[in-house]
């Protein structure tokens, strides 16, 4: 499963797969129970491929952290997101010790553990990088030919308005 296919929707628990999108809404399917629903275009939606976590040096993509947890757990589920705060913090610190705990809140760690367990249940590992990241180096190598110059369309001359004095002369 590609991480770019999975969304988190503000106000809705769990993760979702995108089925279709339109100008006003997105049709998604819950990873938990496979129920379909419509998400309005005004809702805050985050693609998991775009999420990073703060560390002491530079931000780390969520995909990398989830894959690290998967490797450390040897494909097994992690602790429940309902476990105590210290249990979750110790679990994550054992795998990602460089997390910046001043900027990564406990609620973020709970979501991380919950999302990991949801993705394990779906057999989503290893998470693959988004296609855009894989194709970017090849796009740079392509030689670009300069686009032919296009002539700007000529603007029509605005019709001159007759002054009030000229209008009176024309009538007389």
Radius of gyration, CA atoms only, the chain: 27
Q: Taking the mean position of all CA atoms in its chain, how far away is CA 9?
A: 10
- Any idea of the CA torsion for 86, 87, 90, 95, to the nearest 10 degrees? -140
| Rounded CA separation 95/104 (Å) | 15
Summarised one tens digit per residue, pLDDT across range 112-127 is 999 888 888 877 776 6
- Mind listing the pLDDT tens digit for each residue in 90-107? 999 998 899 888 898 998
pLDDT of residue 131: 62
pLDDT digits (tens, 9 = 90+) for 121-145: 877 776 676 665 444 333 333 333 3
The encoded tokens of residue 22 equal 């339109």
- The tokens describing 30, both together, are 């819950």
Verdict on whether the full-model pTM lies above 0.85: no
Q: Which two tokens stand for residue 69?
A: 């947890």
Q: What is the set of domains in the chain, with CATH numbers? A: 1-50 (2.30.30.730), 52-128 (1.10.10.1650)
Sign of the torsion formed by the C-alpha atoms of 163, 164, 165 and 170: positive
Find all residues with CB under 8 Å of 20, minimum gap 6, and list them: 26, 27
- Output the six-digit token pair for 90: 């110790």
In this prediction, residue 10 has a pLDDT band, given cuts at 50, 70 and 90, of confident
């Amino acid at each position: 499963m590609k991480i770019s296919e999975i969304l988190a929707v503000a106000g809705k628990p769990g993760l979702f797969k995108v089925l279709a999108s339109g100008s006003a809404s997105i049709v998604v399917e819950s990873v938990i129970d496979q129920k379909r629903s419509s998400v309005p275009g005004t809702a805050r939606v985050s693609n998991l491929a775009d999420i990073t976590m703060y560390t002491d040096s530079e931000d780390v993509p969520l995909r990398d952290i989830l894959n690290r947890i998967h490797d450390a757990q040897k494909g097994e589920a992690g602790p429940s997101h309902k476990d105590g705060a210290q249990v979750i913090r110790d679990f994550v610190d054992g795998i990602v010790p460089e997390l910046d705990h001043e900027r990564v809140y406990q609620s973020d760690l709970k979501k991380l553990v919950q999302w990991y367990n949801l993705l394990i249940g779906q057999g989503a590992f290893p998470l693959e990088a988004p296609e855009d990241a894989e194709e970017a180096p090849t796009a740079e190598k392509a030689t670009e030919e300069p686009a032919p110059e296009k002539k700007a369309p000529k603007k029509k001359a605005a019709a001159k308005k007759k002054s009030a004095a000229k209008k009176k002369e024309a009538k007389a």
